[in-house]
Structure 1
C-alpha cells in the first residue's frame, strides 16, 4: 500500500506529491508476508512516497516453520493500522490534522515440494494482498481500496534440524507491480515498481515451552516509471519470544514481539538523491497471544505500538493471523 508523502515540510511534500511521487510515509501496512508460523508459520514506511512492500512486524512467532514436504497451507494475515501522527526527519510531527487508517487482508499460499536439494527442503510461496486506505494529508482526504502488488518466491531453501528444535530458511520474494495505482492519488494499494527482497529466517525451540524467532528482511527497489522516483533500499528485523504458560492448556502461547525498520540508501528523483535522503525508520513493540487449534492450524492476535518514527507515520497495529492446512 502506498500513501504518498515525503519530505521534511509541507511545501516539499506538496511539490513532490503533485507528480505522484511522494514521500516516505505510508506504504504501510499492507500485510504481505514473509513467514511466521504460529500460525504455524506464519502487510509504511519511508521511501516513494515512502513505501515499502514488506509488512513490517508480520513475522514474530515461529518465523521459520513452513509446511513439511508434500504439504500446502494458507497463512492468512489481517491487519488494522491507525496513525494520527506524521513525523519528519527529526521525529517531529508535521501535520496536526494528519490521519491514516489501513485495513489489509493478505492470503499467503505455501507449498513444500517432496524433492530435496542437499539438506534443504524447497518451498514456493505466493501472496495476494487486498488493501483499504483512508488518509488525510495536509487538507487532502482520499479513500481507496483494491489489490496491492502480489509477491512470489519461486524457491525458499528450508532446513529442519534432526531434533526438530531448529528451523531456518532463506530465499527471495519478488513483488510484481500490478496492484491498483494512480500517480495522481495519495492512497494507492499498489506501488508501481518492482522489488526484490532476500530474507533470512530462524526459529529455535530451546525447550518445549519456549520458542525464539527472528526474520531479517531486505528490500531492493526499482524505479517507479510513472514518477521517476526510486525509493531507497530498506532492512527490517522482526522478532519474538513466546512461552506456553499453562501446562494444562499447552495450546496457549503468550509472547513479546516487535520490529525495527531502517532505510539505508537515499530516495532518488530522476536519478538524483533527494536532499537529506528522506530515509525512514520506525520501531515497534507489543504483546501477542496465540492458540494451536490442532491438525497444524493455529490463530494469533497481537498489538504493536510504533515509536521513534522518522520520515513516516507513527501509529499502532492490530493483527489477526491464522494458519490453515490445505
Structure 2
C-alpha cells in the first residue's frame, strides 16, 4: 500500500533495580522512570527496484527521563536521538511482507558528560534491519524484525558501546476488528564495550521481555493498540516494565 503513514507511540518504562552481568540485582537504591512520545512518519513510494518497493521513514522521539540512585538523581525532558531509514519491501503474496532497511540514529538528543540523565546518547549508530510479517485478516498475525546496532564512539567520554542484536516480535490472532496477542523483544550484546573502566565482562548486556497486546482496527488504515512488556531477563541492564499505546493511520 503506497502513501504516507503516521504512527504515534506513547510509552512508559519503570524499573527499581539494575542487574549485574549475571542477572543479579546490584544492591544500590535505583529507580528509573522514562516516558516517551515517538512520532514515526513512514512513506511507501511508487518506485520499484525489481520486485521490491522503495520506502523510508523518520522517527522523532521526545523523552522525559527521571533517574534516582544512592549516588545521584537527575531528570531531563527533550528531543532524543532522531532516526532516519531507507529500505526495500517485497510482497510475495497478499499475506506476507519481507523488508530490509538501514537505520541511521543521529545524536540529536541533549547530552552532558557530567549529567546523570541525558535524552541523547552522543554517538551515531548504523542499524541494518530485516523484517517479516504474516497477516491473515481472519487468523494468525506474526511480525518479526531483527537488527544489528553498530555504535560509534561517544567523543565526550571516549566510550564505545558494543554491537547489539535486537529482535522484536509480535504474535496475535485477528478476531474481526480486534487482535489479541503477545509482544516483546530479545537483546544480546555481541561485542565488548570499549573505553575507560570497562568491566571484565565487557559490560555485555542481554535482555528478554514479553507481555500481552490488544489491537483494535477502525478500518484497514487506522489502528489503536496497547501492550505491556515485562523484563524476564536483564543482564547489565535495568529490569522493569514497559507500557505502550500506539496509534497508526494512513494520510
TM-score past 0.5 threshold: yes
Question: Could you tell me how far apart the structure 1 residues matched to 2:33 and 2:177 are?
Answer: 33
Alignment partner, residue 202 of structure 1: 132
Alignment partner, residue 164 of structure 1: 94
Question: Could you tell me how far apart the structure 1 residues matched to 2:29 and 2:187 are?
Answer: 25
Unaligned runs of 5+ in 2: none
Match of 1:233 among 149, 163, 167: 163
| Runs of 4+ more than 3 Å apart | none
Match of 1:312 among 227, 234, 237: 237
Matched, 1:111 2:43: yes
Q: Deviation per CA, 1:101-134, whole angstroms, max 9, x where unpaired?
A: 0000110101111111110011111111100011
Alignment partner, residue 288 of structure 1: 213
Deviation at 1:95, TM superposition (A): 3.6
Q: CA RMSD of the aligned region, Å?
A: 1.4
1:127-276 equivalences under 5 Å are 127-153=59-85, 155-161=86-92, 163-205=93-135, 208-245=138-175, 250-269=176-195, 274-276=199-201
Q: Deviation per CA, 1:187-209, whole angstroms, max 9, x where unpaired?
A: 11100000000111001136732
Matched, 1:298 2:223: yes
- Aligned pair count reads 251
Question: Could you tell me how far apart the structure 2 residues matched to 1:236 and 1:242 are?
Answer: 20
1:64-79 equivalences under 5 Å are 68-69=1-2, 71-79=3-11
Q: Deviation per CA, 1:22-44, whole angstroms, max 9, x where unpaired?
A: xxxxxxxxxxxxxxxxxxxxxxx
TM-score (norm 2): 0.96
Q: Deviation per CA, 1:53-82, whole angstroms, max 9, x where unpaired?
A: xxxxxxxxxxxxxxx22x101111110000
Deviation at 1:137, TM superposition (A): 2.4
Larger proportion of strand: 2
Which moved further from structure 2: 167-176 or 138-147? 138-147
